[in-house]
Amino acid sequence: MCSSNMGEPEERGMHTILDAQASVASTCNDPGTPQNGSRYGDSREPGDTITFQCDPGYQLQGQDKITCVQLNNRFFWQPDAPTCIAACGGNLSGPAGVILSPNYPQPYPPGKECDWKIKVNPDFVIALIFKSFNMEPSYDFLHIYEGEDSNSPLIGSFQGSQAPERIESSGNSLFLAFRSDASVGMSGFAIEYKEKPREACFDPGNIMNGTRIGADFKLGSSITYQCDSGYKIIDPSTITCVIGADGKPAWNRVLPSCNGMYWI
Ligand SMILES: [Ca+2]
């Protein structure tokens, strides 16, 4: 966007031309607005600054603030205006955010491996909301793991246009691994994440010489323990997930234990 508003000099007197040149040369050019971003500030006199911000999910490349500089008769922005790109992977830790496939909404590049780690506060879980999902079927994948890395349990591997509307973690971290093969890129995905209060108790585990009955840890659910034959249960055998004194889900009593009959 480089334009001159000098008009037609041959039609004007000398004085007018000088004025016009002065007005053209006394400000910086319009630096524009980056794609997938916004800008704050319109003044383009020497010393003026303009700041930029990228839309959620996009990362700013460059500086978020540029200044109009005058050097002799030249006026220019320093540094150059930034751009906003959907990056390949990252670490996210805020209460909410957006994850975009690289280059979104343009087709993702081939041969990419992009990993994202989301980690929220310990007393929260993560809800993923799929806003759009379009991957090459059978060749490009988004693998989602319950935990901090790809050694954690796999929740699902998604491809084509088949993604769930929503996934909820049971802990406070998720790991997303995008893999594209050597050819054919599609628009990829836009996924929102939000932390939400944990509405379940943590896995209470097993007890020695006994078994657990029930696998639902949600508020109001109960788990019952049974002792192996030859062992006797000490304490009530059922625990229930309730809201604890600190306002967070907790089991209402300690785990029972199984004592050998021999010792009683
Ligand atoms: Ca592909």
Measured in Å, residue 97 CA sits from the centre of ligand 1 at 26
Measured in Å, residue 157 CA sits from the centre of ligand 1 at 15
The CATH T-level fold of domain 90-196 is Jelly Rolls (2.60.120)
- pTM > 0.75: no
Measured in Å, residue 143 CA sits from the centre of ligand 1 at 15
Which pair of structure tokens corresponds to residue 10?
A: 């041959």
pLDDT tens digits for range 84-100:
999 999 999 999 999 99
Residue ranges near ligand 1 (ion) with Cβ within 5 Å: 136, 139-140, 180-181, 184
Q: Name the segment(s) of the chain with CATH classification 2.60.120.290.
A: 90-196
**Which of the residue ranges 16-30, 179-193, 196-210 would you say has the lowest mean pLDDT?**
16-30
| CATH of 9-84 given 3.90.1150.10, 2.10.70.10, 1.10.510.10, 3.40.1390.20 | 2.10.70.10
Measured in Å, residue 119 CA sits from the centre of ligand 1 at 29
Cis status of the peptide bond prior to 56, with omega within 30 of 0: no
Instruction: Write the DSSP symbol of residue 10.
Output: G
Residue 95: its pLDDT value, please?
A: 95
CATH superfamily for domain 210-263: Complement Module, domain 1 (2.10.70.10)
Residue pair 67/77 in contact (Cβ under 8 Å)? The answer is yes
SS3 262: helix
